[in-house]
Amino acid sequence: MPLAADAAVPFYDPRIGGGSMLDRAGTGVGEPLNVIISGQSSPEVLTESGFYQYALALGFAEECLDIHLGAPMPANLGDGHGWVNQTVELRHNYAIGGTCAETVFGGNHLRLFIQNGPLADSGALFLAVSKEEDLAEGHTITPDGYDRGRDLLVAGATGTTKHGGVEFQTDVQFLTGLLQPGSQGINHDIAIDGKVALLTVTVL
């Protein structure tokens, strides 16, 4: 039976529907889905275009020259869609050089997945956020890159942000129990603290 198609819930735990709080980065490993934008956020934020507007306000943008190296990663949000590739991948947008500078100097980075399947239609947005090394270090994840990436995004989002005349209010709550602390099953064997940031975003 479907859990619901219910905008009154922040999200459904993907594990209930046979999903995972890790995306699939390779055989047996994944990246933590360490930020969730609540399904109780303003509806206009919970679309790909609306999220992109919000992401611009947080200092993210599309990849340099719309070029992506490496295969997209899938996630299973337990909503009946199974393993689905990321909807979009965004990088830190430097004031000078934009996301091309992120490719060279490193910075924050996210993948977006939407929980909207027939078995668990919360509308919530699940993000895999990580901080990357510079090009000289092979653009891999920094030693604390999953927690650090999450915390950088939260720091930039908390309170009021604005882009293109649209103003957003973001309230943050940290959740435990969705991710296991430590490095088991985590890509690059990077330990995480197990916390997930739940953001409720309101368009003002």
Give 72-112 pLDDT, tens digit per residue: 899 999 999 999 999 998 986 554 444 454 555 556 889 99
163 to 39, 53, 148: CA distances (angstroms)? 21, 7, 24
Quote the mean pLDDT of the chain: 86
Question: In sequence order, what are the beta bridge partners of 111?
Answer: 89, 128
* 13: three-class secondary structure by DSSP: coil
Residue range(s) defining the domain that contains residue 33: 14-203
Is residue 1 assigned to a domain? no
Q: Indicate the residue type of 32.
A: P
In this structure, is residue 3 part of a structural domain? no
Q: Is residue 149 part of a domain?
A: yes
CA 128 to CA 145: how far, in whole Å? 11
Q: Is residue 7 part of a domain?
A: no
Q: Whole-prediction pTM value?
A: 0.89
pLDDT at position 97:
45
Is residue 112 situated within a structural domain? yes
Write the single-letter amino acid at 130: S
- Domain membership of residue 6 (yes or no) is no
Q: How far apart are CA 198 and CA 127, in angstroms?
A: 10
Least confident of 52-56, 113-117, 125-129, 139-143: 139-143
DSSP assignment, residue 144? T
Residue 2 lies in a domain: no
Contacts for 193-196 with beta carbons within 8 Å, 24 or more apart?
193/147, 195/34, 195/147, 195/150, 196/21, 196/32, 196/33, 196/34, 196/35, 196/36
**42, 202 contact by CB (below 8 A):** yes
| Within a domain: 167 | yes
Number of structural domains, the chain? 1
